[in-house]
Amino acid sequence: MAKNFVSNNDETVRMFKNPVLEKFSRIHWSVPLYIFVPVIAYFLYRSFAVYRIGVLTVIFLFVAGIFAWTFAEYILHRYLFHAHLPGKIGARLSFMMHGVHHDYPKDSKRLVMVPVISVPLAIFFYYLYLFLLGAANAAPIFAGMVAGYLFYDMTHYAIHHYNTKSPYWMLLKQHHALHHYSESDKGFGVSSKIWDYIFASTFKNKRQNAEEAVKEL
């Protein structure tokens, strides 16, 4: 299998000369939990205590939010993170957004979204739901979407840094390993493979390369 990374160790490359910008380009994997678990709790509280939504309705909308995240994850990964922007500035932006992760796939400080990206995205989606569904319905579905995002971030980190013997997690790990080390234009789902099947972006040489790819992770 051809080498398509710079380093497969837990190391990185400096992206900014400015030390403040450089610091904000790195993040410990636990930071999203501290930021967004309270957000989930807050919007679930509002769902029950403020909007008086029934339990089954909250569960349905919460699960819908998780499902919505899997779609957003796929679209963002495929069409934004893997966009090849034109020109030197475009190439630089593409590298900063996601290229650095493919060059240094085990860099533990660049495996989950930094808050300067995740927080604006969360605000955007909340106001989108608010506009489309109203405040009451937006609360539980947004909580579900944030939960889906956290599952994605934690899954992504675990895939790169933890060994598992669980068949379910091994399937996700195999899927992501093939994306990194075999066909980077396939396999854009991380927390779920469903959209890769729907949009026909699954792997052509899965059996041939899967075992070797997983060894890299």
Q: Give me the pLDDT at residue 57, please.
A: 97
C-alpha 165/C-alpha 76 separation (Å) is: 29
Q: Where are the domains of the chain?
A: 19-160
110 vs 12, more confident = 110
Amino acid 207: pLDDT: 56
pTM score, whole prediction: 0.91
Residue 1 reports pLDDT greater than 60: no
Among 18-22, 43-47, 135-139, 144-148, name the one with the lowest average pLDDT: 18-22
pLDDT tens string 53-89 = 999 999 999 999 999 999 999 999 999 999 888 888 8
In whole numbers, what is the pLDDT of the chain averaged over residues?
90
37 pLDDT above the threshold of 90: yes
Q: Percent of the chain, pLDDT > 70? A: 93
- pLDDT tens string 171-209: 899 899 899 888 889 999 999 999 999 999 988 766 556
CA distance 17 to 123: 29
Range with top average pLDDT, 78-92, 115-129, 159-173:
115-129
Query: What is residue 212's predicted lDDT score, i.e. its pLDDT?
Result: 61
Q: Per residue in 8-35, pLDDT tens?
A: 888 888 888 888 888 888 999 999 999 9
Q: Which residue has the tokens 């957000």?
A: 39
Overall average pLDDT of the 99-120 stretch: 91
> Residue 44 has what pLDDT?
98
Q: What confidence score (pLDDT) does residue 162 get?
A: 87
What was the pLDDT predicted at 166?
85
